[in-house]
């Protein structure tokens, strides 16, 4: 299971969010302040996550502007479904529970991941993955889940 840690915890710098697996840091996320964007470091690779038009995209640092290796686009606003393209592989996202705000991630009709939250007063996004996806793609799915939770919280507050 991957989970977002608290900013500045687990040895991360102030304002940097660690991505944890079994308590060990596997990646770090430095979110942008007022945008749906972040700089993510997974091992020795740095990724730039951003919102481009109506999609959430990710490219490696050094890739030309406009190139997206990972991309998430909403396929139905009514049903709450998304299609996430992970370097040639498409993952379909369906709501698992509207009450809890969780999602199921399907490849070719088979569930490969499910989202959740940490317990407590300030729940953080988690994702349980069967291990068939590379870590870079797993972190993108976790960031997508975090972004969807922030959008839902902002809509509820408005």
**pLDDT tens digit at each of 158 positions of the chain:** 999 999 888 888 899 999 999 999 999 999 998 889 999 999 999 999 999 999 999 999 999 988 999 999 999 988 889 999 999 899 999 999 877 778 999 999 999 999 998 888 888 999 999 878 999 999 999 999 999 988 888 888 88
Q: Which residues contact 32 (CB under 8 A, 6 or more apart)?
A: 38
Q: What is the pLDDT of residue 48?
A: 97
State the Cα–Cα distance between residues 8 and 5, nearest whole angstrom.
8
Return the ∠ at Cα 59 (arms to 48 and 86), rounded to 5°: 120
Would you give the end-to-end CA distance of the chain in angstroms?
A: 32
Q: What is the pLDDT of residue 91?
A: 96
Tokens of 140: 């993108």
Q: pTM of the entire structure?
A: 0.93
Q: How many residues does the chain have?
A: 158
Q: What is the pLDDT of residue 108?
A: 92
Backbone angles phi, psi at 142, to 5 degrees: -65, -45
Q: How far is CA 22 from the centre of its chain?
A: 18
> Can you give the residue ranges of every domain in the chain?
2-157
Q: What is the pLDDT of residue 87?
A: 92
Tokens of 86: 């992970």
């Amino acid at each position: 299971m991957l989970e977002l840690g608290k900013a500045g915890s687990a040895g991360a710098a102030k304002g940097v969010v660690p991505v944890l697996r079994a308590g060990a840091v596997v990646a770090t996320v430095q979110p942008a302040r007022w945008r749906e964007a972040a700089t993510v470091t997974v091992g020795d690779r740095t990724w730039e996550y951003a919102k481009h038009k109506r999609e959430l995209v990710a490219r490696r640092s050094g890739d030309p502007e406009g190139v997206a290796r990972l991309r998430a686009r909403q396929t139905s606003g009514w049903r709450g479904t998304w299609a996430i393209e992970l370097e040639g592989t498409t993952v379909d996202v369906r709501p698992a529970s509207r009450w809890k705000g969780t999602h199921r991630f399907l490849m070719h009709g088979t569930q490969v991941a499910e989202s959740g939250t940490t317990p407590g007063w300030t729940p953080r996004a988690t994702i349980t993955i069967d291990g068939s996806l590379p870590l870079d793609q797993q972190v993108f799915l976790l960031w997508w889940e975090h972004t969807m939770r922030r959008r839902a919280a902002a809509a509820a507050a408005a």
